[in-house]
Copies of this chain bind each other. A is one copy, B any other.
Amino acid sequence: MEQILALREELEKALSNLQLPEQPAKLYQPVRYTLENGGKRMRPVLVLLGCKLFSEDISNAIHPALGVELFHNFTLVHDDIMDEAPVRRGKPSVYEQWDPNVAILSGDAIFIKAYQELLQTDKNVILPILDLFNKTALEICEGQQLDMDFEQRNDVSIDDYLHMITLKTAVLLGASLKIGALTGGASEDQAQALYDFGLNCGIAFQLQDDILDVFGESKKVGKQKGGDILANKKTFLLLKAQELATGKTEEVLADWISSSNSSTDKVEGVTSIYDELNVRELAEERMWRYFNTGIAALEKVGANEKWKSVLLDFSRSLMHRES
């Protein structure tokens, strides 16, 4: 979509204009490394789209968009340490390229830079934006902690899981849109409806991620197929399968989960149980329910129709991605 590409280009330009000191090099090089490592820039694009719905002029939204992107990158730098994830977007993550201390401190610096960017907007909307941002940032910390807690727990319910992904992933999509809407002059109600759209789509996207990890084409997904299965990650699919499995199937699934086997045998074994129990369809059904709830929230927002349809198309494209 050309509009999305144009917004992304504006963002890249603004990001490349971001002023960062040269020294101390070990503090600021990892910041540059992280920002130059790309990514889809989905969250800052949502900030700009949120603004476009209410104002053609997006100059008030550019810096908050950078703020949201910086914040997202801060969470990745710290999460990669905690999750022991040595690769990020095809390159060594910061703690791997340097060391964990560098990742802690440069992550902190990215977080502070995020606040500096958020402050560069219309004075009339800074305070509601910061309130929302702080609330969201704390929720994301809670989501990350829950995600780590779930690894040790055997009593995670599907509702627990949905609550966790809401905090860890979805709230930032909602907040990105709402922040953008506020910079564009939206009312609180309009901005909140966009938040609801982003939140529900965010949950749908995460369910989509879970499904693609097992059923996507691994070349397109760009990571090992079934990585979640090998890691015994308590996704919607696994939790649903555990809920539905009985008799022999329940035993076989439990055996796979307790096994330290990390070959494609395990991926195939668990996937065939998923097939037997129809959990892919159940996950997709739930995913589309969240997505449609989001769409309904978006549709009732009185806003520029052209940009509403760009946002709709963008969200639909994310739902039909194969990776």
Give the size category of A's interface with B.
35 or more
A24 to chain B, nearest CB (A): 4
Q: Once bound together, how far apart are the Cα atoms of A131 and B123, in whole Å?
A: 13
Q: Once bound together, how far apart are the Cα atoms of A113 and B119, in whole Å?
A: 17
Q: Once bound together, how far apart are the Cα atoms of A130 and B116, in whole Å?
A: 9
> How many copies of this chain does the complex contain?
2
1/0 contact string of A206-243 vs chain B (CB within 8 Å) = 00000000000000000000000000000000000000
Q: Once bound together, how far apart are the Cα atoms of A104 and B109, in whole Å?
A: 14
- The residues in A between 56 and 74 inclusive whose CB is less than 8 angstroms from any CB of B are none
Known: A27-B145, A115-B134, A142-B27. A82 touches B108 (CB 8 A): no
Asked if A138 is an interface residue, CB under 8 A from chain B, the answer is yes
Known: A26-B149, A131-B119. A78 touches B105 (CB 8 A): yes
Asked if A312 is an interface residue, CB under 8 A from chain B, the answer is no
Asked if A127 is an interface residue, CB under 8 A from chain B, the answer is yes
Q: Once bound together, how far apart are the Cα atoms of A86 and B198, in whole Å?
A: 42
Residues of B within 8 A of A101 (CB): 81-82, 148
Residues of B within 8 A of A24 (CB): 142, 145-146, 149
A313 to chain B, nearest CB (A): 34
Residues of B within 8 A of A14 (CB): none
Known: A24-B149, A145-B105. A112 touches B127 (CB 8 A): no
Residues of B within 8 A of A27 (CB): 141-142, 145
